Structure 1
Amino acid sequence: MRLGFGQLLAKRLTPIMMPLFGINGSGAFALVMGLVSGFPIGAMITMDLYKEKLLSNREAARLLAFTNNASPLFVIGTVAIGFYAMPQIGFVLVGCQVASALTVGLLLRLMARQEVARMPVNFPIVAKRVHVGRIFGECIENSVSVMGNICGFIVFFSVIIGLLGQIPHCPQALMAGFLEITAATGLIFHSDALPLILKLSATSLVLGWSGLSVHAQVVSVVGDSDISLIPYFAGKMLQGVFAALYTYVYFTLCPLQQSVFSQSVPHMTQATPPSIGMMVLFAVTFWLLSIALLMLLSMPFRGIMHKHH
């Protein structure tokens, strides 16, 4: 961004991004990097674009909702190969994640049609003098800081998941799905009560929703700005639902060979998951509590920001 790449994209790709997502062309960089690089790169780039005044407030809020996604390396390497020993599953899951993210982007564009119609489309490229060495050093410093934050959030929420596992009759895999995706995908894989197609659909739901751990990272990135987080939370909910739906439809139309999967998981059963009503109740309650907690965490940042104004 500091090298003027965002301005160049804004000028070149606005004719494509504006009709599809109602966002100027600079958002294409956040979209692509968010799809291929994992959390929380999409949120960080979106904030950089906003700080460079290449995105309006509402553009940034909408872009944030569908550019913060699980990396293909994690989905294919950890989930598909590490758990299921089936790389082809990973490519399908990645495709469903991309499709669901783009679906959310298209829906948000339809909801903001009047706003999009009033947006300017001219973005003059302004030449800037930059110090490449200084920028490189800042990138390294920021990368180390981000990695520390990610590891801290993962450890924190993994401990919470472990504590939840000590509660009798608590659906640990379901609770983990709202907290941290790495632990959740592993628990879903080891759940013998779910048939394969529901395991994969539940995994897509978790990947699309991303978990409270990722949302806390986003709050830490966005918290000192005036960008609304409501579109982000709504977008992640919708993305999880769409991803699960796309995965279920795909594997219904193109089922996997059960014998191949059984070689990796010999004890897999096809039982119906128990207590569906209780699981739904747990899911809705925990989902709402998760969002309420994140909104409360973001309020102090908003208050500090308004005092400075």
Structure 2
Amino acid sequence: MSRNLKGLGIVLLFLIMLVSPKAVFAGASEGLLLWFQIILPTLFPFLLVTNLLLVTGNMHLINAAFGTFLTHVFGVSPNGSFAVVTGFLCGYPMGAKTAADLTEAGYISPEEGRYLLSFCNNSSPVFILNYVVWKTLETDALLIPTLLILILSPVLVSFITRKSFLHKKEAFHNLKKNGLTKSAWSFQEIDRCIMDSFETLVKVGGYIILFSVFLSLFEALPVIIPGVSALLPLLEVTNGLGLLREMQLPLQLLYPAVLGLTSFGGFCAAAQTQCMVHKAGFPILPYLTQKLAAALTASLMGSLYLYLR
């Protein structure tokens, strides 16, 4: 029954695309441009360097700088602190990919990997500044509070989720592994890291194009379905922020909505995350619950800030 329903859904989507070729083309073009102009140049350098640090074992240099502090704050292992750094600084889906890669390579336990996934997969500060504050909210006055709220909301969620992962331990510990640290590297390793980075980027781009097509098809519907327009921004965060801006909502409604969407990341980011972590065996439903909790926290903090300022 489930298989038949999925098949009917795919056939229905195919028929809708056949009768709406203009909307499909527009959505695919917009998604491709978003990937090529923003995601590719923004994400590729971080993917490549992160892969190199993992392959050569030199991530211990990052761990030495941040590991002690992050272990005390989040209860992660020194190796796990590398995922915290990439997850908060590099943007979707780097946190998820790093947590999965560390788990698959034996640097951290699967349990710690799932814990890291619960709060380390977030929008990057660059995206928050450029797209959220300057392009969507269009006011420098909200720059600092927006950054703080979007960083603090997953941190607050981590304080709650850690209890179910640490099991009364103070922190996770590094897993021992022979040959963990390597000092030499070669161009063959760089080649492998480049190909792995491009494979990740192609998957990310595919999901962005797919969800951009979904968004374009919904917008092209000849009838307005009550409630659908309000849910469309949840499909993909970048296009979703644009839709929120076009709604011309008052700041008291726009600001919490923007914070919530940016913290959640949209269903496109969730699909990208699932793609990054399925080999590591991380379940996606707990991740979605935790992201929704972070989104609700960010929205409430945004409303409270506007009320108090």
Q: How far is the alpha carbon of 1:238 from its aligned partner?
A: 0.9
Q: How far is the alpha carbon of 1:30 from its aligned partner?
A: 1.3
In the alignment, the residues of structure 1 paired with residue 278 and residue 227 of structure 2 have an alpha-carbon distance, to the nearest angstrom, of: 31
Q: Which residue of 1 aligns with 2:212?
A: 158
Q: Which residue of 2 aligns with 1:148?
A: 202
Aligned residues of 1:180 and 1:214 also touching (Cα < 8 A): yes
Gapped runs of 5+ residues in structure 2? 1-53
In the alignment, the residues of structure 1 paired with residue 173 and residue 196 of structure 2 have an alpha-carbon distance, to the nearest angstrom, of: 32
Give yes or no for the alignment of 1:199 onto 2:254.
yes
CA offsets per residue over residues 53-88 of structure 1, 9 Å max, x none?
Answer: 121111101101111111222222122222333233
What letter is aligned with 2:218? L
Q: Which residue of 2 aligns with 1:181?
A: 237
1:44 pairs, out of 83, 97, 109, with 97
Kindly, what percent of the aligned residue pairs are identical?
24
CA offsets per residue over residues 9-68 of structure 1, 9 Å max, x none?
Answer: 667765544443332122222112111211111111111211221211111011011111
What letter is aligned with 1:186? G
CA offsets per residue over residues 187-242 of structure 1, 9 Å max, x none?
Answer: 111113x3212101001111111111111111111112222334312211111111
CA offsets per residue over residues 144-175 of structure 1, 9 Å max, x none?
Answer: 22222222211211221222232414445532
1:135 pairs, out of 182, 185, 189, with 189
Q: Which residue of 2 aligns with 1:106?
A: 159
Give yes or no for the alignment of 1:233 onto 2:306.
no
1:214 pairs, out of 269, 273, 284, with 269
Aligned pairs, number: 253
Aligned residues of 2:71 and 2:78 also touching (Cα < 8 A): yes
- What SS does the aligned partner of 2:167 have? helix
Q: Which residue of 2 aligns with 1:287?
A: none
Aligned residues of 2:100 and 2:277 also touching (Cα < 8 A): yes
Q: How does 1:1-309 map to 2 (within 5 A)?
A: 1-7=54-60, 15-114=68-167, 116=169, 119-120=172-173, 126-128=180-182, 130-165=184-219, 166=221, 167-192=223-248, 194-254=249-309
In the alignment, the residues of structure 1 paired with residue 238 and residue 228 of structure 2 have an alpha-carbon distance, to the nearest angstrom, of: 13
In the alignment, the residues of structure 1 paired with residue 162 and residue 274 of structure 2 have an alpha-carbon distance, to the nearest angstrom, of: 23
What letter is aligned with 2:260? L
In the alignment, the residues of structure 2 paired with residue 72 and residue 205 of structure 1 have an alpha-carbon distance, to the nearest angstrom, of: 16
In the alignment, the residues of structure 2 paired with residue 119 and residue 242 of structure 1 have an alpha-carbon distance, to the nearest angstrom, of: 26
In the alignment, the residues of structure 2 paired with residue 127 and residue 186 of structure 1 have an alpha-carbon distance, to the nearest angstrom, of: 45
In the alignment, the residues of structure 2 paired with residue 82 and residue 178 of structure 1 have an alpha-carbon distance, to the nearest angstrom, of: 18
Which moved further from structure 2: 235-244 or 144-153? 144-153
Aligned residues of 2:76 and 2:171 also touching (Cα < 8 A): no
Relative to its length, the structure with more helix (as a share) is 2
CA offsets per residue over residues 92-120 of structure 1, 9 Å max, x none?
Answer: 22221110111111111133342635954
- What SS does the aligned partner of 1:112 have? helix
Aligned residues of 1:176 and 1:183 also touching (Cα < 8 A): no
In the alignment, the residues of structure 2 paired with residue 173 and residue 202 of structure 1 have an alpha-carbon distance, to the nearest angstrom, of: 14
CA offsets per residue over residues 245-283 of structure 1, 9 Å max, x none?
Answer: 1111122222xxxxxxxxxxxxxxxxxxxxxxxxxxxxx
TM-score normalised to the size of structure 2? 0.73
Gapped runs of 5+ residues in structure 1? 255-309
